[in-house]
Amino acid sequence: MNDNQLLRYSRHILLDEIGIEGQEKILAANALVIGAGGLGSPVAFYLASAGMGRITLVDNDSVDLTNLQRQILHTTERVGQPKAESGKETLARINPEVEVVALKERVEGERLSELVRQASVVLDCSDNFATRHAVNRACVQHKVPLVSGAAIRMDGQISVFDTRGAESPCYACLFPPEQQFEEVLCSTMGVFAPLVGIIGTMQAAEALKLVADIGESLAGRLLLLDARNMEWTSIRVARNAACSVCG
């Protein structure tokens, strides 16, 4: 780290849990962020400000006026622009040292697999089951930890799926792809603005802890937030031996 970096990251370096060694791990890490919307916004903000070495921001959509109530990476002037590009522009102002790769595409198949293989950590900030399952499959295949978040109406959830640990479940252990879940999309449902901030910020925290190797992650636990009453529930979740993805 040069003098400027020592200053920029000094409040991390002062932490016993991070220090110079931990900050160097963060600077050398590479995060894949799927979705530059409500969850992806706070995720990208904190990963960039904290010095994540490279952030690959994937989003197929463009900024819409209805996004601005909660998708804080984007601005009124950027309505109509690709979200990935808009996000890259915002992050460059916060921390120009971070390499941001903006991909305006819906990544799937081999392409997704290759991006996951190169990542130190993957953050699922998408809003649909098809993407969540595809990202989970690639993370299981390459044994890359997955920080998964979701938020709808006044309810949020977050967990870490890290199949490097033998006991740790994958996303499909909890939500089997064979099972039909009612798809509730933010694009048509309401969502409380700060809810995505709370969940996304926690996703960023878990990702930074994973790459800097700090404490215990949320692997094996699912946190549910009822924001009406601001109540958290923590549920222990185990690997499913019959899981069609990791079993």
Binding positions for Zn ion, 198-227, rule CB under 5 A: none
CB of 173 to Zn ion, least distance (A): 4
The smaller minimum CB distance to Zn ion, of residues 102 and 170, is found at 170
CB of 168 to Zn ion, least distance (A): 9
The smaller minimum CB distance to Zn ion, of residues 22 and 177, is found at 177
- Any catalytic annotation for residue 186? yes
Residue 246 binding Zn ion, by CB under 5 A: yes
Of the candidates 125, 173, 186, 246, the residue annotated as catalytic is 186
Q: What is the token pair recorded at 60?
A: 């197929």
Binding positions for Zn ion, 143-182, rule CB under 5 A: 170, 172-173
The smaller minimum CB distance to Zn ion, of residues 39 and 172, is found at 172
Which residues make up the interface to Zn ion (CB under 5 A)? Answer: 170, 172-173, 243, 245-246
Active site residues: 186
